[in-house]
Amino acid sequence: MTDLPTGIEPQAAPTASLLARLRRAGGTAFGAVLGALLRLVDRPMRLLQQLVGERRMAYVFLLPNLVFFSLFVFVPLAIDLVFSFTGGESLFPSQRPYVGTDQYAYLFDCGSFFDPASCRVDHFWRGVANTLRFTIFQLVSMVTFSLVTALVLNMPIRGRGFFRAVYFFPVLLSPVVVALVWKWILQRDGLLNAGLTMIGGQKILFFVDPGWAMFWSVFVSVWAHMGFYTLILLAGLQAIPADLYEAAQMDATPRWRVLWRITLPLLWPNLIVVIVLALIRGVQTFDEVFVLTGGGPGTATLMIVQYIYETAFASQVQNFGLAAAASIVLGVVLFLLTLAQLSRTRSAS
């Protein structure tokens, strides 16, 4: 399989070196195993082709993926609906009595939707309120910081590659690691409190105060994911034609005007992508916040996904029906957000 030309695409340079590296690392042993595997599969595949015909081999190639998608996405989505319309504690739908819209009625049984305490399932509504607050703060700070960072990284500065890497690397860290790193810094006798006492302040128990817990949840989330959004914006900035800036330069247009009149309008499609992605991610927030605060203090940073997880898996009575109903509600929200994104990208292209 090596006698064919590889890497014929225009951006071959980094790829080719990676391939060479991989090939050297993999060595011939891996190649031998692959070759044997190939010969093993070749014969039955040829037989199959004779059986179904050349054209219909497409279905054969498609089959494994569709089986996986059906089994782990489409069937579950249908079962999710079944769960949300049935009651009881059993995991198996056949043993669950039909209860109609009771789960939803129970979930939405609120004195006032602006006061989680007035709801029967108050944890869910606290989750909704927290997720909403988290998403808004996260969205605003994420867009602001990734935009500023992208603009700065797009300037003709020395060591641009290094600085870009600096902002990008937390994207690769696992949420557990991110949360543990910050938990270590923010704990009672941690680095930040040491800094605070050094400049004459008092120690702050960040995870005991609801406001601080939410602040750090947002902060840590922005810290971890900012690099991702910065990259999207940077790609947009670099696609802006240079002659526009040249023209502005000739006219001696002030920088802020260039930013306001050229850069931001042309960056708008990328900004929309960033806003929608940050929204979709924000609504689904779980990992970092869960490890960082555990949803606490009390329910101050409990998010919807954590509520779903705990209702279904981590409570005394596993209430699958209620968790499914909550999932469906979350799914509808996500669906609407995705539709908004699709209609945006369609009108953009």
Name, in order, each residue with C-beta under 8 angstroms of 221's C-beta and a sequence gap of 6 or more: 134, 138, 142, 285, 288, 289
Distances (CA, A) of 307 to 11, 52, 110, 131, 303: 45, 49, 17, 11, 6
Decide: helix, strand or coil at residue 98.
Answer: strand
- Cα–Cα distance measured from residue 144 to residue 152, given in angstroms and rounded to the nearest whole number: 12
Q: Does residue 119 interact with other proteins by CB under 8 A?
A: no
Based on CB atoms, which residue is closest to other proteins, 11 or 316?
A: 11
Based on CB atoms, which residue is closest to other proteins, 2 or 347?
A: 2
Per CB under 8 A, contacts with other proteins among 294-323 are 305, 308-309, 312-313, 320, 323
Q: For residue 84, what are its two tokens?
A: 């949300």
- Cα–Cα distance measured from residue 144 to residue 136, given in angstroms and rounded to the nearest whole number: 12
What is the nearest approach in angstroms of other proteins to the Cβ of residue 186?
A: 10
Based on CB atoms, which residue is closest to other proteins, 210 or 269?
A: 269
Considering only 86, 263, 293, 327, the residue that binds other proteins (CB under 8 A) is: 327
What is the nearest approach in angstroms of other proteins to the Cβ of residue 106?
A: 16
Per CB under 8 A, contacts with other proteins among 182-211 are 182-185, 189-191, 193-194, 197-198
Q: Are 168 and 214 in contact (CB under 8 A)?
A: no
Q: For residue 165, what are its two tokens?
A: 């890497």
Q: Does residue 245 interact with other proteins by CB under 8 A?
A: yes
**Upper half-sphere CA count for residue 9 (Cβ side, 13 Å):** 6
Considering only 99, 129, 204, 232, the residue that binds other proteins (CB under 8 A) is: 232
Based on CB atoms, which residue is closest to other proteins, 103 or 299?
A: 103
What is the nearest approach in angstroms of other proteins to the Cβ of residue 332?
A: 9
Residue type (1 letter), 330: L
Based on CB atoms, which residue is closest to other proteins, 46 or 115?
A: 46
Based on CB atoms, which residue is closest to other proteins, 68 or 113?
A: 68
Q: Does residue 18 interact with other proteins by CB under 8 A?
A: yes
Per CB under 8 A, contacts with other proteins among 76-105 are 76-80, 83, 91-93
Judged on CB neighbours under 10 Å (0-12, 13-18, 19+), 322 is buried
Based on CB atoms, which residue is closest to other proteins, 126 or 164?
A: 164
Q: Are 123 and 314 in contact (CB under 8 A)?
A: no
Based on CB atoms, which residue is closest to other proteins, 96 or 126?
A: 96
- Cα–Cα distance measured from residue 176 to residue 292, given in angstroms and rounded to the nearest whole number: 8
Per CB under 8 A, contacts with other proteins among 248-287 are 249, 255, 273, 277, 284, 286-287
Q: Does residue 64 interact with other proteins by CB under 8 A?
A: yes
Binding segment for other proteins (CB under 8 A), chosen from 112-120, 136-144, 209-217, 332-340, is: 332-340
What is the nearest approach in angstroms of other proteins to the Cβ of residue 178?
A: 9
Per CB under 8 A, contacts with other proteins among 36-55 are 38, 41-42, 45-46, 49, 54-55
Distances (CA, A) of 37 to 33, 45, 47, 50, 62: 6, 12, 17, 21, 20
Give the single-character DSSP code of 2: -
What is the nearest approach in angstroms of other proteins to the Cβ of residue 143?
A: 15
What is the nearest approach in angstroms of other proteins to the Cβ of residue 112?
A: 26
Per CB under 8 A, contacts with other proteins among 147-166 are 148-149, 152, 155-157, 163-166
- Cα–Cα distance measured from residue 275 to residue 340, given in angstroms and rounded to the nearest whole number: 11
Q: Does residue 340 interact with other proteins by CB under 8 A?
A: no
Distances (CA, A) of 38 to 42, 46, 96: 6, 12, 47
With CA atoms as reference, report the closest residue to 76 among 268, 277, 328.
Answer: 328
Number of residues that bind other proteins (CB under 8 A): 116
